[in-house]
A and B are shown apart, each in its own frame.
Chain A
Amino acid sequence: MADKKNEAFNLEHTLEELTKITEQISAGKVGLEESLRLYEKGMSMVNQCRAYLDAAESRIRVISQKADGLEIKEVSIGELKA
């Protein structure tokens, strides 16, 4: 399930990290070795984000509390209009 894979991936956090890494590299205060390590980490994060946007599909679930627990139903956007 694409959901399980993305559970560990948080877009907001990753973008914040990327902002920091880009700033660090731009500032030029870290050594070359460290810059290269940050660069590799940063590019890997960019690829992660792109993969998430390209692969993740939207999902609409309708839930309600029933006597025996939580009822979850997957629906398509067309079904909502009805």
Chain B
Amino acid sequence: MKNDHPLFMNFNAAPAPAKAHPSPGPLAGSQTRTPSKKGASTDLPERPKRPAAMTVSEACNLLGETIESCTPYPVQIRGEITNWKVARSGHAYLSLRDDQASLDCVMWKRDLEKSALKPADGMTIVATGQMRFYKPRGQVNFQVSAMSLEGRGELELRYRELCQKLLAEGLLAAERKRSIPRFPMRIGLITSDTGDALFDVVTTALRRFPPLQIVFVPTQVQGDAAPADMIGAIRLLNDNAQSLGPLDAILLVRGGGSFEDLWAFNDESLARTIAKSRIPIATGIGHEPDQTIADLVADACGPTPTGVAQKVVGESAAVRDGLAYFSQRMSEKMYQYLDTRNRDMDAAETKMESHFQRRLADMRRLLDQFDRRIASIEPARLASQKAMAVETARQRLMDTMRQRLQKCRPHVDRLKDRLQSHSPSLRIERLSSKFNVISRDLTSIMQRRVQQAAEHCRHFALRLDESHPDKILQRGYSITTLEDGRILDSVIGASPGLKISTQLADGRLISTIEAVKNA
């Protein structure tokens, strides 16, 4: 602080303790000027009656030096760019602001040219530079020597740059997007195996197309390792078509998240891998309308994971409707044609017949004329000869015509039959008669078996009958019992004097044993 500055000297000169010059506001970082109290050893001149006012230049100089010496250098300020303007001189003018204050800034051309950042309104930046006081206008401003983007701004810049780069290479062009079949039969799915996206996508897809086959590759979807993981998954699905079967499409999805959470999908290598994939890729990333680079490069994209599943997977119900339409339309047309052909044939037949009838009538008239002429020359013989020849010719003509008509008919009938063969009624007849045959066979088989069973019964009844004791007795055998009723069937139980009873066919004999003789 220059204490010999005229301004200071004026103040210092005052005998009465002067009010200290107010400190220059919040910019004061280093020491403020302190009035020299060395006046003790100096003879101060008399304070003039009225202090001389300083000039504008002097005031500005004061301000300028205060500001420039009181503020640290360099200093960094964080704020949002507004009112960005580059003058023809090449110097840039802007304001940096936050929600309460704003500061005018300038950036000289040479610094602007060196800047890697292309500044624009709305960007949140950190500006490096120094406070300045512009004397000609008496204004404070901040001279920016360098700028950089803050945090998210940095990411947004990289996003924009990559977009531009890929756009320039033509990777985002609509023409290079491959079409996906309307009704894919087998798809690949790349997403995290935690989170809701997986289940939502699978249930949506299978609900729309129950026969769908899904090949799922679980990957990271956030963090530094995510892009490489997803690239590996895309390559895996592309390279293994042999063992997995042909894939109609791949779904690459991730549930909702912030711009930073979804950052992995803005990776350049991932974008290039998506572009190079032989299998078309459809993405459904996050729940916001903003699109990641992956969404832009992909062959198709949806607003959410479920959304892209709905877009890519066709409904089997729609297929069935289409099939019903096709078969109905084809059948209608075929029957129409046969109808038309038949009617045409009938018409042609009628025409031909009437045509030839007329020709024959004409010929007959002609022949009648000849008849009469000949009759006047050689009546009987010539007339009858000619008449016979004519009659033969007529017959032949009629026959030929009839034959030709006959030949056409079967052809039409055959075609009709072929069509009829598709009708179920033939099949029903065939099956019905088959059923009758089987039913008859079954009846006769059952009858025979019943008969056989009856035979067996009769046979057994007979044999049983034969074995009845009465029949045996009638043949001359007898049954001998002891007094107590036990049957005597051996000489062992017998002894002379025992009373025995002998049963014959028609009665009993009571006797006493005389003697027992072994056989």
Contacts and interface: CB of A to CB of B under 8 A. Distances in A.
Contacts of B422: 43
B211 A58 contact: yes
28 contacts: A6-B185, A10-B185, A12-B182, A12-B183, A12-B184, A15-B319, A18-B323, A19-B326, A21-B330, A25-B330, A25-B333, A32-B341, A42-B326, A42-B327, A49-B319, A52-B211, A53-B210, A55-B211, A56-B211, A57-B210, A58-B206, A58-B211, A61-B216, A64-B218, A65-B232, A80-B193, A80-B199, A80-B216
Interface of A: 3, 6-7, 10-12, 15, 18-19, 21-22, 25-26, 28, 32-33, 35-36, 39, 42-43, 46, 49-50, 52-53, 55-65, 70, 72, 77, 80-81
Nearest to B216: A62
Contacts of A65: 232, 236
Candidate in B184, B185, B341 with the most chain A CB atoms within 10 angstroms: B185
Given A60-B202, A63-B240, A70-B236, 6 more contacts: A42-B327, A59-B213, A62-B217, A63-B215, A63-B216, A65-B236
Interface in B328-356: 329-331, 333-334, 337-338, 341
Interface in B202-235: 202-203, 206, 210-218, 232
Contacts of A15: 182-183, 319, 322
Interface residues of B, number: 46
Contacts of B341: 32
Contact of B418 (A6, A36, A62): A36
B326 A18 contact: yes
Nearest to B189: A60
B211 A53 contact: yes
A21 B334 CA distance: 12
A6 to B, nearest CB: 7
Nearest to A65: B236
A15 to B, nearest CB: 7
Contacts of A10: 185
A63 B238 CA distance: 13
Nearest to A18: B326
B181 interface: yes
Contact of B245 (A3, A28, A46, A53): A3
Candidate in B216, B243, B316 with the most chain A CB atoms within 10 angstroms: B216
Contacts of A25: 329-330, 333-334
B297 interface: no
A32 B216 CA distance: 50
Candidate in A3, A11, A77 with the most chain B CB atoms within 10 angstroms: A11
Contacts of B243: 70, 72
B415 interface: yes
Given A11-B185, A61-B216, A35 B326 contact: no
Nearest to A2: B211
A60 B214 contact: yes
Contacts of A70: 236, 240, 243
A55 to B, nearest CB: 8
Contact of A63 (B193, B244, B327): B244
A1 B215 CA distance: 17
Given A58-B211, A80-B198, A32 B232 contact: no
Contact of B316 (A21, A53, A59): A53
Contact of A46 (B182, B202, B326, B419): B326
A18 B202 CA distance: 30
Contact of B214 (A7, A56, A59): A59
Contact of B210 (A11, A18, A26, A58): A58
B319 A62 contact: no
A77 B236 contact: no
B2 interface: no
Contacts of B217: 62-64
Contact of A77 (B203, B213, B330): B203
A35 B334 contact: yes
B407 interface: no
A28 B334 CA distance: 10
A28 B339 CA distance: 13
A62 B181 contact: no
